Amino acid sequence: MGQVQTDQQRHQYLQAMGIQTWSLRQPQSRPADETLTPTDADARQTMQTESIVVQANEPSVVATDWAGLKAEVSACSRCELCQQRSQTVFGTGNRQADWLVIGEAPGTEEDVQGEPFMGPSGKLLNQMLLAVGLKREDVYIANIVKCRPANDRDPRAAEAAACEPYLKQQIALIQPKLIFAMGRIAAQNLLQSDQKVGDMRGQKFAYGDSKTALIVSYHPAYLLRMPSAKRKAWQDLLFARRVINNE
Ligand code: URA
Tell me which residue of 50, 34, 52 sits closest to 42, measured CA to CA: 34
Check whether 159 has a pLDDT greater than 90: yes
Q: Mean pLDDT over residues 147-168, rounded?
A: 97
- Measure 105 CA to ligand 1 centroid, in angstroms: 5
Q: Mean pLDDT over residues 100-104, rounded?
A: 99
- Measure 165 CA to ligand 1 centroid, in angstroms: 19
Higher-confidence residue of 219 and 62: namely 219
Dihedral (CA of 190, 191, 192, 198) sign: negative
Q: Mean pLDDT over residues 198-220, rounded?
A: 98
At position 245, the amino acid (one-letter code) is N
Give the H/E segment covering residue 212.
strand 212-217
**Residues 123, 136: Cα–Cα separation, whole Å:** 10
Give the model's pLDDT for residue 201: 98
For 28-43, how does the pLDDT look when each residue is reduced to its tens digit (9 = 90+)?
Answer: 433 333 333 334 433 4
- In sequence order, what are the residues at sequence separation of 6 or more whose Cβ sits closer than 8 angstroms to the Cβ of residue 40? 33, 34, 234, 235, 238
- Measure 120 CA to ligand 1 centroid, in angstroms: 10
Indicate the pLDDT class of residue 15, thresholds 50, 70 and 90.
Answer: confident
Give the model's pLDDT for residue 38: 34
Give the model's pLDDT for residue 61: 63
Residue owning the nearest CA to atom 6 of ligand 1: 116
**Residues 201, 204: Cα–Cα separation, whole Å:** 8
For 160-201, how does the pLDDT look when each residue is reduced to its tens digit (9 = 90+)?
Answer: 999 999 999 999 999 999 999 999 999 999 999 999 999 999
Q: What is the value of pTM for the model shown?
A: 0.83
Give the model's pLDDT for residue 14: 72
- Nearest-atom index, ligand 1, CA of 219: 3
Ligand 1 site-directed mutation target among 89, 90, 117, most atoms within 8 Å of CB: 117
Question: Residue 100 in contact with residue 180, Cβ under 8 Å?
Answer: yes
- Measure 89 CA to ligand 1 centroid, in angstroms: 10
214: buried, middle or exposed (CB in 10 Å: 19+, 13-18, 0-12)?
Answer: buried
Pick the CATH number of 47-244 from 3.40.50.720, 3.40.50.20, 3.40.470.10, 3.40.1410.10: 3.40.470.10
- In sequence order, what are the residues at sequence separation of 6 or more whose Cβ sits closer than 8 angstroms to the Cβ of residue 180? 99, 100, 101, 102, 215, 217, 236, 237, 240
**Is the shortest distance between the CB of 143 and ligand 1 below 6 Å?**
yes
Give the residue ranges of DSSP H helices in 107-177: 108-113, 120-131, 157-174
Residue owning the nearest CA to atom 7 of ligand 1: 117
Residue boundaries of the structural domains of the chain: 47-244
